[in-house]
Structure 1
Amino acid sequence: MGRYAIRRLLQLVPVVLGTTFIINYMVWQLPGDPFAGRCGQRPCPDSYVTAMREQFGLDQPILVQYWNFLKNLFTGNLGTDFNGVSVATQLGDAWPITIRLALMAVLFEAIIGIGAGVLSGLKRGGFVDNVVTVATLILLSLPIFVTGYLLQWILGVQFGVIEPTVSDAAAVPELIVPALVLASLNMAFTARLTRTSIVENLRADYVRTAVAKGLSNRRVVGIHLLRNSLIPVLTFLGTEIGSLMSGAIITEGIFNIHGIGGLLWRAINGQDYTIVVPVATLLVLVYLLSNLLVDLLYGVLDPRIRYE
């Protein structure tokens, strides 16, 4: 497995270089000059725009710009945004909050989604199966902003169970409801994916063989059935970590969470690409590393998988 991990890490190098180059190039090539509207109601003087472009290295060829970006990225020197505030400081403040939110969402997806899917698959056609099916269909049919505003209004405004907005500290108890909102769609999909996998594997030969050997239901389900049924679910959950972090913009906006989503949204609206590019790059890295982790966990769930 060690050699496989090293080979996969080496394969990530061209992917990271390619994606970061595309991000860096495309963002700075968007229509409009990000410096042109920073002088209030009047147009910015050409001398100001020229000076700002020189300050941020935009007067240089694209390959030189990209090389400077890579050097700054690996040294941690991300410079300042257009307002003179350190980009690294802003990322350092926002990143831990979004990581907590995303990890809590994945935890809810795994515990509730997999648990509901397993019960639904084992009790196929029964009351539990029908309840899970209806609940997942409702969650899948509701846009995430509807779910968020609904829970905020019911739990925060009507009953006062939670605060309608999250404080600047964004403590774990405050993030429970936002994490449930963020996880709602994927939680429903995880439950349905788990149910389908359980039902398919219940008809597999290895399950019938385990039952014929006289193994207990707990051993058949816990060791044989779940390990094989969770492989596609693990793939989905692993790839969703990066997606959850980038998709937190809506949830963070609803609950006023000062995380990466809000930072990215404000930067896009203000055309402050000095923040957009590093945030997008970090999201790519999280997505790639989570996929690598999933690949390495395959061998743990399924002993038949061997890494060469």
Structure 2
Amino acid sequence: MGRYTIRRLLQLIPVLLGTTFLINFMVWQLPGGNPFANRCGDRPCPEAFVAAMTEQFGLNDPFWLQYLKYLTNVLQGNLGVNFNQVPVIDLIKLAYPTTIKLALLAVAIEAVVGIGLGVISGLKKGGFFDSSITIFTLFLLSLPVFVTGFTLQWILGIQLGIINPTVSAGAPWSELIVPAIVLASLNMAFTTRLTRTSIVENFRADYVRTAVAKGLPRRRVVGIHLLRNSAIPVVTFLGTEIGALMGGAIVTEGIFNITGIGGLLFGSIGRRDYTVVVPVATLLVVVYLLANLLVDLLYGVLDPRIRYE
């Protein structure tokens, strides 16, 4: 396992270099003119200002040199400053902890509720619970996230007063529960359907029939043999969702007024402040890669038949 982990970590290096190269190329080489030319409101910016900013951020350099400088700075822990001369690392430190908390809560809800409902639905195939859960998941899948968010905000926050309609500064865990439910709602339905399908398929597998024929208790058959093997595709899905939730929380953060990475990324794109877009996108790539590595390592824990030579 240790040798496999080292090999997978080494494989992440060219992937990380390739993705960061593409991110830098697509962001800084997009058409639209100099990003500093329209930063003075309705009036055109002075040529001296545009020239100074262009020189500061190295836009006169060849792209390969810009990318090399970016990699060098990142390896030294220097993410530079944005167009307003605010250190990018400070902006990320302010926004990232909140989004991490929101994403972790959302993944936990997806895993607990989604897998739980999927197991019940798969074991009760064709019954009342299976039909009810199927209708519930189809209902969630048909609702856009912003509809679910505004509905829960209006009912629980405005009408019933159970929650704060907007998350307060500092984003305490208790106030992030409902936004996390909103963020997880769509993927929770996918997790439920995926778990149900995997349970139904594996329930007919030979190893499950053998366990039943040996007279093992149903709890052991389901918990040890059936659930562990059925969880492999679910873990794969949840692992890839960690990065997606951290980058895709723009709508949820906007509804509940959460100061997170989604709002920071969206605002920076709108202002064409690429000095923030590129580091944030790079961090999301790192999260994706580490999540996929963790998922691969969990395979050996969930299924003892899997061995890494």
Structure 1 residue matching 2:246: 3-state secondary structure: helix
- For residues 70 and 130 of structure 2, what CA distance do their matches in structure 1 show? 52
1:46 Cα deviation after fit: 2.2
Q: Does 1:250 align with 2:251?
A: yes
Q: Does 1:202 align with 2:203?
A: yes
1:143 Cα deviation after fit: 0.8
Map 1:54-65 → 2, pairs under 5 A: 54-65=55-66
Map 1:48-197 → 2, pairs under 5 A: 48-197=49-198
1:246 Cα deviation after fit: 0.8
Residue 277 (structure 1) aligns with: 278
Residue 29 (structure 1) aligns with: 29
1:222 Cα deviation after fit: 0.5
Structure 2 residue matching 1:164: 3-state secondary structure: coil
Identical aligned pairs, as a percentage? 72
> Deviation per CA, 1:42-88, whole angstroms, max 9, x where unpaired?
11122221110101111111111111111111211111111111110
The one-letter code matched in structure 2 to 1:249 is: I
1:31 Cα deviation after fit: 2.3
- For residues 23 and 228 of structure 2, what CA distance do their matches in structure 1 show? 38
Residue 15 (structure 1) aligns with: 15
1:271 Cα deviation after fit: 0.7
1:11 Cα deviation after fit: 0.6
The more displaced of 28-37 and 186-195 is 28-37
Residue 236 (structure 1) aligns with: 237
- For residues 73 and 152 of structure 1, what CA distance do their matches in structure 2 show? 39
1:167 Cα deviation after fit: 1.0
> Deviation per CA, 1:128-166, whole angstroms, max 9, x where unpaired?
111110010000111111111111111111111111111
The more displaced of 282-291 and 56-65 is 56-65
- For residues 3 and 189 of structure 1, what CA distance do their matches in structure 2 show? 34
The one-letter code matched in structure 2 to 1:5 is: T
Gaps of 5+ in 2: none
- For residues 29 and 156 of structure 1, what CA distance do their matches in structure 2 show? 44
Structure 2 residue matching 1:108: 3-state secondary structure: helix
> Deviation per CA, 1:82-104, whole angstroms, max 9, x where unpaired?
11111100101111110000010
- For residues 289 and 85 of structure 2, what CA distance do their matches in structure 1 show? 31
Task: Name the TM-score, length of structure 2 as normaliser.
Answer: 0.98
Residue 218 (structure 1) aligns with: 219
- For residues 48 and 282 of structure 1, what CA distance do their matches in structure 2 show? 30
- For residues 221 and 197 of structure 2, what CA distance do their matches in structure 1 show? 17
Residue 288 (structure 2) aligns with: 287
Moved over 3 A (4+): none
The one-letter code matched in structure 1 to 2:133 is: V
- For residues 96 and 74 of structure 1, what CA distance do their matches in structure 2 show? 21
Residue 227 (structure 1) aligns with: 228
> Deviation per CA, 1:177-227, whole angstroms, max 9, x where unpaired?
000000001000000000000011111111111011000000000000001
- For residues 126 and 75 of structure 1, what CA distance do their matches in structure 2 show? 59
1:250 Cα deviation after fit: 0.8
- For residues 104 and 38 of structure 1, what CA distance do their matches in structure 2 show? 38
The one-letter code matched in structure 2 to 1:27 is: V
Structure 2 residue matching 1:73: 3-state secondary structure: helix
